[in-house]
Amino acid sequence: MARGSVRGATGMKARAVNLWLLAGIANVLGWASPARAYETEVDASIAAQYYTLSSPWGDPELRRRRYTETLGLAVWNIQGEGDPRGPRLSFQSRLRLDADFGQSSAERALRNPAYIPGLEQAPLGLMYAYLEGQRYLGGHVGFRLGRQYVFDTLGFWSFDGGLVTLSTPVNLLFEAYAGLEQRGGGLPYLGTRRFEAQGVYRGDRNDYDAAYYPLFLDESKVAPAYGFSVEASGFGVLHSRLSYRKVINRDEVNVSPFLDLGDGQYFLSGNRTSSERIGYSLRADSPKLGALNGSVVYDFYNQIFSQYAATADAYVNSRVTVGLSFDRYTPTFDGDSIFNWFSHSPTTSALGRAEVRFSRRLSATLSGGTRWFETEGYSSNYASRPDTSKTGRLFDVSLDGGARYDYGRGSLGLRAGGETGKRGHRLGGDVTARRRFSTRYDGMCLVSLWDWSDALRPDRDATSLGYVLGGGVTPGPNFFARSRFGLELEHQMNRVVGQRFRALLTLDLTVLK
């Protein structure tokens, strides 16, 4: 990257040393090539966290000694030099090690009374790794091959497979993909359970007998998935996207929850729907007036509209935006889960918001409204009038505010908010100050005060005061231009935990060549 700053003799020397180091490392790693077009980016991120948490009854106490490391490798412009509007090929990947050295070995010892199914001390995961091509066949075709994410109305999801995009001259973009849903598992899958549908507890049961933790289901190692989307853009003020996705469970699954108590042993095999949903989103925005957004998701397995949401924002003038939002969400689960049929009622939120930009330096937002929860029948008099055809509602009221002020080399931020209702409240705020001392050093301070009550568990009510002090240093302006070493110390005080301390050490390294 070209940088246009004037350097003194010392700076030039330092730069030369760094360039030499860079060249040396690149040669060692075999990257160096005298006339290449591709760009290589290697980055590593390390976070070490140290804190303790305990059960509501004091024992057991969990020591968290967490160490997370991600390592990313990307190669851009693999296609070589050519028309900047022509085909483009790149590769991106990221590995993650997520270790907790505070775990007790007893928690991972099969048959031990403290055993936790599925608990791993240092799982290694491949977050994503894919080859991507853009603007092929006259600029109309693109593809992705490998482990990748999909972001759409249906949520944030990951699969291993292929995706093809086709853009048309009439501003319609078609996308189709097929592969296997990313599910938990060690080698060779290197997957996380994060993207599996909710409501199922799966893992590796290789060393289990059938009666041991029967509801810890054997992981579905291959779950075929496919989907498509049609996106329309550039039609004046409108932009819309239709997305469909289906995931299939194919493994043999245990259906009896009580095997350990002598019941029979039943298994079900064959293709089963894990999830099948279709979603549509629409945006209409005018830079002069405002924006309307809407989305809806239909769940084919549950046969309900599981989510729908809408927002309307008006740009009152250059400084003020006001808006309304509505969101209705019904929990749905993996098709294998009985929780689908315990799911009754949606949670609905209706909020109003205002955003004011007082100047380039100072802006603030305020939002407030209500969130209501529905029940079949009135909870207050169900005993005397057990009528499930009536819908009962419990209302929470929420108010949130935020402000940010940028000054010279730093910023001051405020975030406050709360929600209160019959089940209790959360109310509080944080003030955060950040400041750069030079191009190399930065510091931050956060003060936080929150109060909460839980109507179902009054013994957990508390007022909590906390603060965080942190700082960071960037090693140098050249080789490690986008790298940083940081340290944060967090201290929380409340009657539930007394004193809770947390130390967070981070190291981010990026090399772009």
Partner 1 sequence: MKSRLDLLLLSILLSAFLAWCGSTSALAGGKSAPPLPSATFSMGDSLAEALRPPGSFPGDEGPSLVVFPEQSMPLRFNHQKHVKQLGVGCATCHGAAKTSQKSSDSLLPPATRCDGCHGTNHRKLSQVTTDEPRPLGQCNYCHVGYDPARPNLVARVVVPKPNLRFSHQKHVTGQRIACARCHGKVEEVKLATRDQLPRMKECVTCHVLGSGDGSGGTAALNAKAAPGAPAAPRAKASGACTTCHLTDPNGLLTTTFKSGKLLPPPWLHDAGHGADFIERHKMVAGNDSKFCASCHQERFCVGCHDGNVRPRRIHPNDFLSQHAMAARQDNPRCTSCHQQQSFCLTCHQRSGVTMSGPIGNLAKRGRFHPPKSQWTDAPRTAGHHAWEAERNLNACVSCHQERDCASCHATRGVGGPGPSIGVGAGQGINPHPVGFVSRCQQALRQNARPCLTCHLPNDQDLLRCR
Smallest separation (angstroms) from partner 1 to the CB of 437: 5
340 contributes a contact to partner 1 by CB under 8 A: yes
- Least Cβ distance, residue 18 to partner 1 (angstroms): 18
Nearer to partner 1 by C-beta: 421 or 475? 421
Contact 146, 128 (CB under 8 A): yes
In the complex with partner 1, the residue whose CB is nearer, 180 or 492, is 492
Give the nearest distance from C-beta 350 to partner 1 in angstroms.
14
Does the N-terminal peptide bond of residue 123 adopt cis geometry, omega within 30 degrees of 0? no
Whole-number Å distance between alpha carbons of 409 and 284: 37
CB-based contacts of 435, cutoff 8 Å, min separation 6? 409, 410, 411, 442, 443, 444
One-character DSSP codes across 362-387: EEEEEEEEEEEEEEEB-TTTTTT---
Q: Which residue among 23, 80, 441, 503 contacts partner 1 (CB under 8 A)?
A: 441
Decide if residue 276 touches partner 1 (CB under 8 A): yes
Residue 448 binds partner 1, judged by CB under 8 A: yes
Those residues whose C-beta lies under 8 Å from the C-beta of residue 43, and which sit 6 or more positions away, are 71, 72, 482, 508, 509, 510, 511
Q: What is the largest CA-CA distance in the chain?
A: 88
Residue 255 contacts partner 1 per CB under 8 A: yes
Strand partners, 69: 46, 97
- CA dist 496 and 149 (Å) reads 39
Q: Considering the complex, what minimum distance in angstroms separates the CB of residue 278 from partner 1?
A: 13
Among 301, 306, 442, 472, binds partner 1 (CB under 8 A): 301
Tell me: does residue 507 bind partner 1 (CB under 8 A).
no
Residue from 278, 266, 306, 311 nearest 292 by CA: 311
Give the distance from CA 509 to its chain's centroid.
22
68 binds partner 1 (CB under 8 A): yes
* Minimum separation from the CB atom of position 292 to partner 1 (A): 9
Q: Which stretch binds partner 1 (CB under 8 A): 6-14, 20-28, 220-228, 487-495?
A: 487-495
Q: Which one of 7, 13, 36, 423 is in contact with partner 1 (CB under 8 A)?
A: 423
Pick one of 281, 306, 474, 483: the residue that binds partner 1 (CB under 8 A): 281
Q: Which of 126, 181, 185, 295 binds partner 1 (CB under 8 A)?
A: 295
Query: Binding residue for partner 1 (CB under 8 A) from 224, 369, 424, 477?
Result: 424
Is 483 a binder of partner 1 (CB under 8 A)?
no
Binds partner 1 by CB under 8 A, chosen from 14, 44, 447, 487: 447
Asked if 493 interacts with partner 1 (CB under 8 A), we say yes
Within positions 383 to 412, which residues make up the interface with partner 1, using CB under 8 A?
Answer: 383, 386, 388-389, 392, 394, 396, 398, 400, 402-404, 407-410, 412
Binding of partner 1 by 370 (CB under 8 A): no
**126 sits near partner 1 (criterion: CB under 8 A):** no
Binder to partner 1 among 116, 141, 178, 222 (CB under 8 A)? 116
* Contacts to partner 1 from residues 153-182, by CB under 8 A: 153, 155-156, 167, 169-171
Q: Can residue 65 be called a binding residue for partner 1 (CB under 8 A)?
A: no
**Alpha helix locations (H) across 243-310?**
none
Smallest separation, CB 487 to partner 1 (Å): 13
Residues linked to residue 278 through DSSP beta bridges, in sequence order: 244, 298
**Residues in binding contact with partner 1, number by CB under 8 A:** 210
The verdict on 253 binding partner 1 (CB under 8 A) reads yes
| Residue 300: how many other CB atoms lie within 10 Å | 14
**CA 329 – CA 420 distance, rounded (Å):** 19
Cβ-defined contacts of 228-236 (< 8 Å, 24+):
228/174, 228/175, 228/176, 228/177, 229/152, 229/173, 229/174, 229/175, 230/172, 230/173, 230/174, 230/175, 231/172, 231/173, 231/174, 231/175, 232/171, 232/172, 232/173, 233/171, 233/173, 234/171, 235/171
Does residue 233 bind partner 1 (CB under 8 A)?
yes
Q: Which tokens is 250 given?
A: 């194919």
489 binding partner 1? (CB under 8 A): no
- Does 93 bind partner 1 (CB under 8 A)? Our answer is no
Residue 221 sits in the site that holds partner 1 (CB under 8 A): no
CA 356, chain centre distance (Å): 28
DSSP state of 9: H
Q: Smaller CB distance to partner 1: residue 162 or 326?
A: 326
Region near partner 1 per CB under 8 A, out of 11-19, 28-36, 40-48, 472-480: 40-48
**421 sits near partner 1 (criterion: CB under 8 A):** yes
- Burial of 239-257, coded b for 16+ CB within 10 Å and e otherwise, reads bbbbbbbbbbbebebbebe
Give the interface segment with partner 1, choosing from 17-25, 28-36, 220-228, 429-437 (CB under 8 A). 429-437
Distance, CA of 502 to CA of 102 (rounded, Å): 14
Q: Smaller CB distance to partner 1: residue 18 or 240?
A: 240
Instruction: Name the β-bridge partners of 76.
Output: 39
Residue 141 in contact with partner 1, rule: CB under 8 A: no
10-18, 24-32, 319-327, 472-480 -> range binding partner 1 (CB under 8 A): 319-327
Residue 1 sits in the site that holds partner 1 (CB under 8 A) = yes
